[in-house]
Amino acid sequence: MNILTQVKENELENLIESNIESHKLVIVDFTAKWCGPCTQINPSIEKLAKEYEGRAEVVTVDIDTDKPAAKKYGIRNIPSVLFFQEGHRVDTIVGVVPYKKFTETTKKHLETSQS
């Protein structure tokens, strides 16, 4: 079951801006259906969305159907997972990495927002 929401550029902008005051972390997975490495990390991204539900907003952007968003954020390689906090990009993970890397990065930024 896919619990991830796929968003377009304008929805992404609204999401990032709407979470500025709430200090909620926004995690964006830039992906494509044809991308093998993207399908490798998809279970990790879904697990991240479940584990941090209510504390972080996890969404995906398909670079084939939303080229403007990919261009705006300088996506050159996929999978690229971007972390936004208070309206700013605070971290980026590119490529296939263990789930632990996603959770460590998420925890780091959640702790930063609480201090």
- How sure is the predictor about 16, in pLDDT bands with cuts at 50, 70 and 90? confident
Query: For the whole model, what pTM was predicted?
Result: 0.91
Report the domain count for the chain.
1
Structure confidence by residue, pLDDT tens digits, 53-79: 989 999 999 999 999 999 999 999 999
Give the residue numbers spanning the domain of 11.
5-114
What is each CA distance from 4 to 53, 54, 62, 74, 102, in whole angstroms? 11, 13, 12, 22, 15
Do 51 and 10 form a contact (C-beta atoms < 8 A)? no
Tell me the mean pLDDT in the region 1-5: 58
Q: Which residues contact 19 (CB under 8 A, 6 or more apart)?
A: 25, 26, 57, 84
Tell me the mean pLDDT in the region 21-42: 92
Catalytic residues: 35, 38
Instruction: List the one residue out of 3, 94, 81, 107 whose CA is nearest residue 47.
Output: 3
DSSP state of 4: P
Answer left, alpha or beta for residue 70, where phi above 0 means left and psi between -120 and 50 means alpha: alpha
Tell me the CATH number at 90: 3.40.30.10
